[in-house]
Amino acid sequence: MLPTAPPFFSAIRRNVFEFFMLFLAVWLAFATDYLREETEKQDREERYMRSMRKDLMRDTVQLSELTARFDWKRRGLDSLLVLFGTSAERFPAAGYGMMQRQLSGFPDFIPADATLRQLKEAGGLQLIDDEECVSGILRYDAAVQGELMHQEAMNEFLLGRLWERHARSLDLLAMADAARRNFAPPLPRILLSSAPDEHIRFRNDVVQYRTLVLLQLNIIGALKADAAALLTLLRERYPE
């Protein structure tokens, strides 16, 4: 007859086995939750990055269009300043149409920032493990904010100062006479005020506006390069 373990030791073995099984069950539950959370986190991270790539592609297209528009405006302002090189009395009526086109405002840059706002507001940047991508996103966001500030300054200058000077520089009587004849020839030669001081001030404001346009071209070019670099990085780190 084989010896049997005392009941005391059998109870210990049973308790140890039950504890081990309970520990294993708890560990598996934690491991399952951890893996599920990591999988969900990775899925959210990839969704954010796919959406971010789409936003960057839209920004790149828009910035290319803005570059062409502002370059056209720069060339138009150059031509307008050539006309300003003459005296106010000799400013051609045909130049009025050019002046209206070049001083009629400019297209705004409207960034596709829905994904970026979600990342910033919901703490989504913490989901991104790639520090280089996080740094690139933050740098691009700072560049976008800088462009928007410059854009606002241009709007304030154009609407708050240049157009006011523009209104004072017009010869309203000559304008009214030309308008009554639907600008049919012979066109009057005086469409700007003959007051020399107003003419000079207005020309100086146009020169300053041209400088802002050149600065805007540089900012847009740099922003487009930043968008392209970030888009390339995201495609490398988060391939489709």
For residue 194, pLDDT over 80 is answered with no
* pTM score of the predicted model: 0.73
Task: Give per-residue pLDDT as tens, 34-61.
Answer: 566 665 677 788 888 899 999 999 999 9
Q: What is the radius of gyration, based on Cα positions, of the chain?
A: 34
Grouping H, G, I as helix, E, B as strand and the rest as coil, residue 1 is: coil
Percent of the chain with pLDDT over 70: 69
**pLDDT, greater one: 125 or 4:** 125
Maximum pairwise Cα distance, the chain: 133
Which pLDDT score is estimated for 206? 85
For residue 152, pLDDT over 80 is answered with yes
Q: Where are the domains of the chain?
A: 48-237
* Amino acid at site 197: D
Which pLDDT score is estimated for 2? 46
**pLDDT, greater one: 149 or 40:** 149
Output the six-digit token pair for 27: 């560990």
**pLDDT, greater one: 27 or 137:** 137
Rounded to the nearest integer, the mean pLDDT of the chain is 79
